Amino acid sequence: MSAKCEQCIVRELSSLKALNKEELLRMAECKSSYEVKKGDPLFEEGEMLNGIYCVKDGVAKMSKLSANGKDQIVKLVKKGELLGQRSLISEEAANLSAVAIEDMQVCFIPKAEVLKFFNENNQFSLNMMKSVCGDLREADDHMVDMAQKTVKQRLAHTLLHLEKDFGTNEDGSLKIQLSREEIAGMIGTATESCIRLLSEFNKEGLIELSGKKIILVNKNMLQKMSE
């Protein structure tokens, strides 16, 4: 169990890299590991979280329900990331919902243990604060994009980021497969508008659509369009 925590990708890529061997052993003893099936929530907006989640594998969407009942996707969380840090530090309910968009493997570390690390390990607490600050910066950028960019610009930007963050399959298609509704939720538009724009991009030779698959054909043009 302890070796798993020491070698885990989450430990290498997150605030947990500051923990020493003894602290990792302690964490291994108190954590619980489980699978989350595609479509199932890790937690809901407004829920009080009693710890943090380590994403060992899979992807989750972080979203907020808008007044009109639409899911506004704020970000996608992939393996190596932690969830629930802000809520734990601020002692507030979760501001967003986290739902698996593919099968996930996660570990849950109880709040009491995380706060011990926070009090005992300065580098861990600094790393966690930096991570929360990074999330806030991303949220600011997202808010500016939503206010100042057109839907077309936002779609081009999102497609490029999906390739950069998650990579491609052997056939060149985006590795992460999102529904049209989910892509619409990321760019803040109606599903019908998203479908129409993807079709336009396809006709213009910017992308290639094959069922649910999306291949980015002209990345230079997409980059220019996104700016």
Residue 14 pLDDT: 83
CA distance 158 to 189: 13
CA distance 49 to 110: 9
Of the candidates 49, 78, 100, which has an alpha carbon nearest to the alpha carbon of residue 175? Answer: 78
CATH 1.10.10.10 in the chain is located at 149-226
Strand 32-36: give its sheet, edge to edge.
Answer: 32-36, 104-110, 51-57, 82-83
Tell me: the pLDDT tens digits for 184-217?
A: 999 999 999 999 999 999 999 999 999 889 999 9
Q: Is 79 exposed, middle or buried (0-12, 13-18, 19+ CB in 10 A)?
A: middle
CA distance 113 to 119: 10
pTM of the model: 0.85
Domain 149-226 indexed as CATH 1.10.10.10: yes
CA distance 73 to 83: 15
Q: What are the CA-CA distances from residue 21 to residues 3, 27, 106, 117 (Å)? A: 9, 10, 21, 12
Of the candidates 224, 188, 189, 186, which has an alpha carbon nearest to the alpha carbon of residue 204? Answer: 224
Instruction: Find the helix or strand (DSSP H, E) in which 3 lies.
Output: helix 2-7
Tell me: the pLDDT tens digits for 153-176?
A: 999 999 999 999 999 999 999 999
Non-local CB neighbours of 112 within 8 Å, separated by 6+ positions: none
End-to-end Cα spacing for the chain: 47
CATH 2.60.120.10 in the chain is located at 2-120
Angle formed at CA 161 by CA 52 and CA 44, multiple of 5 degrees: 30
**Least confident span in 64-68, 70-74, 191-195, 205-209:** 64-68
Non-local CB neighbours of 89 within 8 Å, separated by 6+ positions: 128, 129, 132
Instruction: Find the helix or strand (DSSP H, E) in which 34 lies.
Output: strand 32-36
Residue 1 pLDDT: 38
Tell me: the pLDDT tens digits for 3-59?
A: 467 778 788 878 888 998 888 888 888 999 999 999 999 999 999 999 999 999 999
- CATH number given to 2-120: 2.60.120.10
